[in-house]
Structure 1
Amino acid sequence: MESFNIFYSVLKYIPSPIRMESIIVGLAVHSPLKKFSHFYRIKNTRRVVAFDDEYNKDFFKMVMDSLAYDLDYSYNEYSESLFNDDIKRFSDIEQDNFLDTRISYLANEFQFSPIESLQTSDSEVKNDLENLQKMYLYYDRPKSERITKTEVRNLLSKQLNSYHLAHITKSPKIYDEFGGNNLYDYQINDEILVKAISFDYKRINQLSTELKNVIYDLKQLNTSNISKVILTRNDNLEFLPEKHKLAFDNFKIKIKNIENVKNLKIDLIPLSELEGTLNKTKA
């Protein structure tokens, strides 16, 4: 089963350069091997209206349509005879830097995140594309169809595999104090731990329990060989209930306190920033 990479980037809408608050409004994906590229746009634009009371419907649609024109391409055996214009416009579809050349010009209100990659295969690519949409265009789906923590961990695994890291251990032998659960999902180069967490719990009590456990485990962590912990979180936090947002803010404060006490770097990031965070560590 041949594996190949999917490259992706998340589009954020930032109406105010002063506040720098953002909402995810699109997802660009590209597979050089499969000659495939697509821009998935937000469907639930009511979220955008609620986020920005000065939202310009016509301007927003123009930007979305322009990105679809620049990015939507799916090669098939009839393409050359039927869509010569597309063949010319997408002559670089097999290049790894295709996505970068198509999205790097955007700035100000619309900004793409640094390009990420994940490793997939013919049998898994459909589910992986679905999970990326579920991850980043989260509110386009009913609650029963939103991404699960297991699916988030699966995306995390595929992203790490696409980086071809020299030393990576899945489910490292770092257990809770009762010797039961593995506390972290991955260990990289023996010194970096990675764990997926979520702030999207229906009940604040469930979220509170999860965050307390993470904080407790960080306090108990033996840091003699560990220099960094990366906590990958769900994006889409702009529409969390107020109690959940408060929990998120308090969690960040407690993490900072642990960093100071244990001389440990703790990064709390969305999955779309994982590779950039690892690259900063190397530097």
Structure 2
Amino acid sequence: MKTFDILYSVLRYIPSAIRMESIIVGLAIHIPFKQYSHFYRIKNTRRVASFDDEYNKDFFHMIMEGLSYDLDYSHEEQFEYLFNDKKKRFTDIQHEDFLDTRISYLANEFQFSPIESLQTSDEKVKKDLKNLQRMYLYYDRPKSERITKTEVRNLLSKQLNSYNLAHITKSPKIYDDFGGNNLYDYQINNSILIKAISFDYKRINQLSTELKNIIYDLKQLNTSNISKIILTRNDNLESLPQKQKLAFDNFEIKIKNIEAAKKLKIDLIPLSELERTLNQSKS
């Protein structure tokens, strides 16, 4: 089964350079092998308006339209657009740096995340594209159609596979105190542990229990051979209920305390920053 990469970048809207609070408003996709590119924009713009009380609807719409103009292309359209300029504008659609050239000009209020890659195949590409949308444009969908924690782990797996890492172990043999559960999803080069977590629990009691367990396990972990732990979390935290936001803030504080006590680097990041974080470990 032939595999190929989906390249993607997440667009965040940051209305204040001082507060640096952000909301995800788009997802740029590029598949060089398929000569395909698309910009998926947020549909529920009322969330943007409630996030920023100085939201300029016309300016926001102009940015979204501009990105669609720069990014929306499918090889299957080539004959339809044979006699206009669209095919000419996308002569570099097969180039690996296509996406970077299309999004690197944005800054200030609108910022794209570092480009990530996800390994897929002809059989799975449609599902993977759908799950990326469900992951990052999470609140555009009804609750029954939102991405699950298992599907997030699936994306994590595909993302790691696309990096062509030399030494990667799935479900490393690091168990809880009772020997029943694998505590981490992946181990890289025997020195980096990765675990996917979520803050999007409907019930605060469930979230509290999971975070307490993670903190306890981190404290008990034998770190003699471990240099870093990466906890990949869901994006869209700006829309969490207040109690879940408070739990996230407290969790970050406790992680910092564990880092200091165990002299261990612990990164709590969205999945869209995974490759950059791993590259930082090499330097």
TM-score, length-normalised on structure 2?
Answer: 0.98
Contact 1:48 1:55 in 2 (8 A): yes
Which residue number in structure 2 is paired with residue 154 of structure 1?
154
Deviation at 1:17, TM superposition (A): 1.0
Which residue number in structure 1 is paired with residue 209 of structure 2?
209
Which residue number in structure 2 is paired with residue 121 of structure 1?
121
1:192 corresponds to which letter in structure 2?
A: I
Which residue number in structure 2 is paired with residue 97 of structure 1?
97
* Cα gap change, 1:205 to 1:105, in 2 (>3 Å): same
Contact 1:194 1:232 in 2 (8 A): yes
CA distances 1:51-95 after superposition (whole Å, capped 9, x unpaired): 001111111000000000000000127537635411110000000
Which residue number in structure 1 is paired with residue 142 of structure 2?
142
Query: Within 5 Å, which residues of 2 pair with 1:215-234?
Result: 215-234=215-234
SS of structure 2 residue aligned to 1:79: coil
1:224 corresponds to which letter in structure 2?
A: S
C-alpha distance in structure 2 between counterparts of 1:78 and 1:194, whole Å: 42
Which ranges of structure 1 fall in alignment gaps of 5 or more residues? Answer: none
Deviation at 1:177, TM superposition (A): 1.0
1:204 corresponds to which letter in structure 2?
A: I
Which residue number in structure 2 is paired with residue 242 of structure 1?
242
Which ranges of structure 2 fall in alignment gaps of 5 or more residues? Answer: none
Which residue number in structure 1 is paired with residue 61 of structure 2?
61
Which residue number in structure 1 is paired with residue 109 of structure 2?
109
Which residue number in structure 2 is paired with residue 9 of structure 1?
9
Which residue number in structure 1 is paired with residue 47 of structure 2?
47
Deviation at 1:176, TM superposition (A): 0.8
SS of structure 2 residue aligned to 1:231: strand
SS of structure 2 residue aligned to 1:254: helix
C-alpha distance in structure 1 between counterparts of 2:198 and 2:135, whole Å: 11
TM-score, length-normalised on structure 1?
Answer: 0.98
Which residue number in structure 2 is paired with residue 252 of structure 1?
252
C-alpha distance in structure 2 between counterparts of 1:111 and 1:224, whole Å: 38
Amino-acid identity (%)? 81
Contact 2:3 2:120 in 1 (8 A): yes
SS of structure 2 residue aligned to 1:53: coil
Contact 2:119 2:162 in 1 (8 A): yes
- Single out whichever of 227-236 and 73-82 deviates more from structure 2: 73-82
Which residue number in structure 2 is paired with residue 273 of structure 1?
273
Which residue number in structure 2 is paired with residue 178 of structure 1?
178
C-alpha distance in structure 1 between counterparts of 2:152 and 2:195, whole Å: 11
* Cα gap change, 1:127 to 1:228, in 2 (>3 Å): same
Contact 1:80 1:87 in 2 (8 A): no
* Cα gap change, 1:277 to 1:81, in 2 (>3 Å): closer
State how many pairs are aligned. 283
C-alpha distance in structure 2 between counterparts of 1:246 and 1:54, whole Å: 25
2:208 corresponds to which letter in structure 1?
A: S
Contact 2:81 2:87 in 1 (8 A): no
C-alpha distance in structure 2 between counterparts of 1:258 and 1:20, whole Å: 26
Contact 1:119 1:161 in 2 (8 A): yes
Q: CA RMSD in A?
A: 1.0
* Cα gap change, 1:77 to 1:71, in 2 (>3 Å): closer
Q: Deviation above 6 Å: which 4+ runs of structure 1?
A: none
- Single out whichever of 79-88 and 30-39 deviates more from structure 2: 79-88
Which residue number in structure 2 is paired with residue 198 of structure 1?
198
Which residue number in structure 2 is paired with residue 130 of structure 1?
130
2:213 corresponds to which letter in structure 1?
A: N
1:235 corresponds to which letter in structure 2?
A: D
Deviation at 1:23, TM superposition (A): 0.4
SS of structure 1 residue aligned to 2:33: coil
